[in-house]
Structure 1
Amino acid sequence: MRILTLLCFVTGTTIAASSKYTQINKENDSPNMQVEVYKDDESSSRSLRMRRQDVPDPSNGPTDVGFVQSDKHAYYNSTYYSNGEHLYVDLDKDPVNRFIPHSQLSDSFLTADKISLPFKFIFYGHEVSSVLLATGGFLYLGSFFHQYLSATQYVAPLMGSFDPRLNDSSIIRYGNNGTAFTVEWSQVHIQHLESAGSFTFQTTLMNDGRILFAYKNIPLPLSEIGGGNGHKVTVGVSDAFYYDEPLTEGSSLYKRTIYRYDTLSLNETLVKPSSGFILTPLPTCTQQKSCSDCFGGNVDPSFDCKWCPTLSRCSSGYDRHRQDWISNNCNLDGVDNTKECDGNSDSKTGLIVGMVFLIILVAVVIGLLVFAII
């Protein structure tokens, strides 16, 4: 069994460690784990900021949505609604949603639990079948548990140091209608600022990849919350890839480094009662299933997609499959234009034809030899 020493790493200078989370009913499959958290290099951000004020489209739902602001980013488009009540799901009155109160999380602090999704959710172009629902106002969508869940790979309608134990009315619950999975943090308080009052907000994951944030009760501006206990406050999404390597040459001990390749931080000053956001996914390299699709114009050119014949995979080199990409020299040998796709296809076809011809030739020679012997 591999024993992992875990490093949560992004190029840059070190920052104060985040609060440590525990997981309910977690089996300790990697007992030797240590975590170091590093700060992002801001110069590596791929976010494409193209802000504009939009007029609501009456054909796309309610028209009374107040001020609307849309932004384009690398992996998602975001749309903000100052009146986003249409994004809020009333889990008590909605006859379609089957909501489940989570009694353990509703009486815990810095705790998370694994919840299976009712559908395969596409997050940064990758399929996700389960999430870790955390008391701190976010979902963790990574493929393995570690204590610093708030560092990356999250969907955070309002990440903060929330402590449901402070209020008997606090409840964390979730529900789905088959096409939408909704989580609500209801009447939760900030652990170090209980006097601020209670917060109620939601996130909804749609089966088409959209992410909804809805805010019902926000008693004070987020700038006044503060981190508390080392827990950051943020609104947005983030993803990362892992890289495993031996601690020393020939060692059976491995370290896992987590590289955060994208963070989309939404404007926290816009988070107010009845407001909301919609994050709409944009096409990614990893979703293109053929060489021609890889360069078919579906993906923003800034991603610089390449096709790796060895893996039959399209990638920018920065996604959850990066270790495979590097290990198979796809960063060096990858196809980077459509003409090479055709050449690659032609060469494969020629190789197949050549092999068939060789097999036939060998069969004929063997047949002649057998006939001569007889």
Structure 2
Amino acid sequence: MRIGINLLTLTQERFGGVEQYIKNLIAHLADSGENLTLFLFLSTNIKNIFPYHEKIQIRMLKDPAQIHESIRQCQLDLWFCPMHSSYISDVRVPCIVTIHDVLHTAYPHFVQGGLEENNRYYHRFAPSFRKVITVSAFSRNAIANQLSIPKEKIHAIHLSAPAIFDKAPADVIRKKVKQKYQLPDTYAIYPSSFNPHKNHQNLLKAILILREKHNTALPLILTGYANKRNRIYQSVLRFIEEHSLENQVRVLGYVKPDEMPSLYWNSSFLVFPSLYEGFGIPLVEALKAQRPIACSNKGSIPEVAGDAALYFNPERPEEMALRMKEMLNPLTRKKLWEEGKLRSQHFSWKKTAEETLHVFRSVIKKR
């Protein structure tokens, strides 16, 4: 198989969930043992994020005519678009896309372009999609219902955590990270971008309720890259200052990937209050790090966390506060830890790559 992978809108940013998906999927496709060659189509010089592999070739292109000519020259069997806003017209080989979620249909005011512009975009290109891959059964149903794409064309394939989470960090590394960031012995962790649906405000309100109504000062560690002009980031800092939470809530910003496992392993639990997720990689990171989870009951989150979590309505800070208070009970954490060990075995990038290849083969065989 000769697969063209459309990464023309990929930029060199601190990686979020979609970028983690792309990097890990490509690496595991290349190592699958399958007779394939992957042609990565890039418009900016970020090929350094993909390690050298004999099955990976890079095509640096920007002009549409060059892209179409290169597709022809590479004699592609398939054109794969794993990112939103990257589709191009008139590709002469079968096209498979990944749609991670349809956040714009649930919270149009959170997404640039809103409901109508994003729907027009999908309706323009959807007829050319031979198959659609998505990342959860929740997203599969939402895509079918909201974008009117036939459900039989959509395949739900779960993701996993970065490979560095596959084994526990050494004690000396954990201690080093704890000292570097001056972490307390007990804390909840929330790794997240500062986007509206990530629901930082209600989480901070819940932390305040714990302190004011339940006499519980739970330390909270927030990680995730943010532009200093990001309004959600600014509102988080403002809330912390206005309610004198500086000694309780720490905003670490971007943390290097090799330090993230230690932040999880040193924590008491993951809190995940997101209003909407297509998947939610931090949930799997917590499972792999054997950390219990207190999380939202919205979107795909229950599908991913299963029985390894305590759930709350993310729009009710009081309920969120009570669940986090429950998480401070060692017996509760132990029960969830045992469930999490079983649940974590469900997720692997090898499995993601195998199921993706199955979709690829089904389209090429029909061709």
Answer yes or no: same fold by TM over 0.5: no
More helix by share: 2
TM-score for the superposition, normalised by structure 1 = 0.25
More strand by share: 1
